[in-house]
A and B are shown apart, each in its own frame.
Chain A
Amino acid sequence: MHWRHVFKVVGVLTIALACTMIIPLLVGLFYQDRSILPFGIALAATLAGGTAFFLVGRTDRTEFVSQREGMAIVALGWTVAGVFGALPFYFEGECPTFVDAFFESVSGFTTTGASVLTDIEAVSRGLLLWRSLIQWLGGMGIIVLGIAILPFLGVGGMQLYKAEVPTPVPDKLQPRIRDTAMILWKVYALITAAEVLALWAGGMSFYDAVNHAMTTLPTGGFSTKNASVAQFGSLYFDLVIAFFMVLAGINFSLHYQMLRGETLAFWRDSECRFFLGAVLVLTLVVSFDIWGSVYATIGESLRYGVFQVVSIVTTTGYATADYEQWPAMSQLILLLCMFLGASAGSTGGGMKCLRIMLCFKFCYKELFSLIHPRAVTHVKIAGKGVPDDVLRSVLGFLALYMGLFGLCSVLLAGLGVDMTTAFGAVAATLGNIGPGFGMVGPVENYALIPGLGKWLLIWCMLLGRLEIYTLIILLVPEFYRK
């Protein structure tokens, strides 16, 4: 284990993070609000911290990055980004304690969108932009961005990439990892820009359009309004945002293929079909369920049903309705959506459609071989056999996910939180969704969770974003043995 190398890379990434703080600083200067001084201090502190890390590792000449180091860099990098990203929140005084600021920052980077701020509209514009910006950076991945723009990460970039984007079947769009990362970021930026235009054209202020686009594409869900998207009360905005949420929930390499002119790319990909099909079916069921019981007309039911289901299943977490007032079946469907999540290779969280699909197919294969004990069968995706080690890691992932969900909810309940809230909060943070149930429902927030509970949920958010293995491996003693 080359710790110096780990520190060096994390140092450079932190310095890069400091550079991104210039953007909200400029916005603050433009609006002349009170975020200027906090950002100045935070920028200096981040720069100093990054330099310190870099100096520790400066003598390092490692060329080879092992899988272990890749995981250490990613896990440490995300934690450090969370800490430094919290500084502006802390210095501006929006968060009374550092854990609150840290929670808000990690919730941003991990694209969760769970907030502890009660009056969002009172927060300065510079800081609100920062809140959206860190979601945007975290959505496609800070390490992937690093690989794209920092040439020295090219060596061993694949290890870092695999640790940050741990899809069951990794696809490399280009032979070189740097080009792959660059393409993903370009596609991401392009779609974000499209959404800014669409919202702005519909009459949203440019500032709000930029903020909402930057939190839709990473499936983050931070809004600049107290009542989230509901505040606008516009059908047009609901539809535009829902459309872009669905796009964000689709594998970005499919977007790339689409932009290159392969118009059937979405249809040809079996996971994408599964995801879009699930969205369609669940939307219809929920809309039918709330028709009459909550909303009088079918139009209204569809409008709110679509938005809520899409928002939860893509793990974005915007709200236009308080789904806690809905019938039990709809609430349970939304809870299950939190586990389902979006596609692998998208910016969404949750368990990912691909894993669920593989799990279903695996179960079917087991049933099939009970009927035909001598049959030789393979789990296939798109006509190709899935290797056994991939299946094993998928099943292991699902087991770990459920196990951690159980453990963390018990721990949270032990801190004095009621049962619905404990379940909802852990499911919503582990899946990087944002709003949960009970005390942390769509119209409340996480401010009332006790301090220790916030630490636990911060851990859940990081676990969910890095898809468990990368982070939990740090708890295994074997990891540190020479």
Chain B
Amino acid sequence: MKVIIIGAGEVGFHIASHLSRENKDVIVVDRNPEALRRVSDNLDVQVLQGSGSSPVVLKEAGIGSAEIMLAVTNSDEANLVACLAANIISPSTKKLARLRNADYDDYHEIFREKAPHIDTVINPDIEVVKTIYRMMKVPGAVDVGEFADGRIMFVGIRLEEHSPLNGIKLIDLPAKLKGVRPLITAIMRDEELIIPRGKDRLKAGDLVYYITASEQLQETLAVFGKQEPPLKRVLIIGGGRIGYRLAALLENQPIACKIIERNPEKCDRLAERLNKAVVLHGDGSDQGLLAEENVGEMDAVVTLTNDEETNILASLLARRMGIRKCITRISKFSYFPLMSTIGIDQVVSPRLSAINSILQHVRRGKVLSAMSIKGEQAEILEAMAMATSAIVSKPLRSVGVPKGALVAAVIRKEQIIIPTGDTVIEPDDRIIIVARREAILQVEKILAVKLEFF
């Protein structure tokens, strides 16, 4: 399968990295030779220098034989024009564009049906706000994802010293817990991802990923000793696109919201568009201002400025002032591994969101959705089991699930099954698989998605 990626920025780079590891033919187009050099030095992909919105360059990249084109440059306009040009030269190529301007929000469907025929429009800001909101709702969660149309939650939490599960062997879990049982699918320990087996113990400090039915979420959190009263007051630092979206979302909930922005003009505009939220003019990392506004009383602080260093500092400050829940926006991927060591666990990234939703669309078809775990060491795939694939009609233990992968849940009509070695997957079941990066290829093989990828 051939994929053309327009834009060699952080998003383009990481998508290219994912896809090239999965043996897809990737061509990256960008105007900047430096950005291209970074791509060609690190990844096994072809690069092409030129403007992605130029028909000549697109032709040279072989758009005619490309199955999918991803327009992910920093400029919405360039992405739109690239899709327009691609549509003229090769109407059969699937086109995906990243458009970040909120003004386009209402036109996503129209773009699909009318002129540029963009098959998918991604606005990572929308995804980020959703992620932030989910994190707020789930106390203690570091990472939250939804599968099977929201019926299944995938939650990552940090195991604390006083948690009742500290030091327990996984095999002993059912004996210890009478009622609901979270299915632990992966553990991050010292930046190393473990797909645990029965003998493995949970340790304080682990980042534990588990799967649960959505209605049992609160109970499972209680099992881990994480319970918090519902959110009442939230402080947002940074009133950019994401800050505004989040504030507007919170306004519709019974949540009081304050928003701090440094730029007076932006404050004006925010105050005009928001009704209940309190807009404050000032610096988010100014301790005086934070104290004045009773930060200590807040249930959560979300730092969303465009400057990640400011976000990190503001979150650290807020933590010191007694806030338990700080959600921090980070853009540089290289910062991710550092975050937990300085005590900032809840991190969001518009770029990571963009990558996740794009991957999901690239794999669309039998793989329904995909999400990568922090640090990109593993992915969670939701897939439809087909009658012809190797995984069905056999007990799981004889399917030969590759090393480093785990079938975490099976959804059969309305029922959610936590599989054992004897479980037999039937056609049209939805399966949720956690797979380390190196096992993804083999997982795709046993799902036989290769035959009808799209």
Chain A residues close to B by CB (< 8 Å): 64, 67, 154-155, 157-159, 172, 174-179, 387
Contacts and interface: CB of A to CB of B under 8 A. Distances in A.
Nearest to A180: B46
Interface string B32-54: 01000000111011100000000
B41 A158 contact: yes
A159 B42 CA distance: 9
B25 A176 contact: yes
**Majority SS of interface residues in chain B?**
mixed
Contact of A174 (B25, B33, B41, B42): B25
Interface of B: 2, 20, 23, 25-27, 33, 40-42, 44-46
B41 A176 contact: no
A172 B41 contact: no
Nearest to B26: A175
A155 B25 CA distance: 14
Nearest to A172: B46
Given A172-B46, A175-B2, A176-B20, A158 B25 contact: no
A192 B62 CA distance: 30
Nearest to B61: A175
A10 B23 CA distance: 24
B27 A175 contact: yes
B400 to A, nearest CB: 19
A175 B44 CA distance: 7
Contacts of A157: 44
A413 to B, nearest CB: 42
Contact of B41 (A155, A159, A387): A159
B20 A67 contact: no
B44 A154 contact: yes
B404 to A, nearest CB: 14
A48 B46 CA distance: 37
Contact of A177 (B2, B33, B42, B44): B44
- Residue of A157, A172, A174, A177 with most partner-chain B CB within 10 A: A172
Contacts of B20: 175-176
A176 B44 contact: yes
A100 to B, nearest CB: 41
A175 B33 contact: no
A34 B312 CA distance: 74
Contacts of B25: 174-176, 179
The listed residue with most A CB atoms (<10 A of its CB), out of B40, B44, B46, is B44
Contacts of B45: 175-176
B63 to A, nearest CB: 13
A179 B42 CA distance: 17
Contacts of A174: 25, 46
A359 B362 CA distance: 46
Contacts of B46: 172, 174-176
B405 to A, nearest CB: 19
B27 A64 contact: no
A235 B424 CA distance: 73
A176 B33 contact: no
A-B pairs with lowest CB-CB distance, top 9: A175-B25, A175-B46, A172-B46, A177-B44, A175-B27, A175-B26, A176-B44, A175-B45, A154-B44
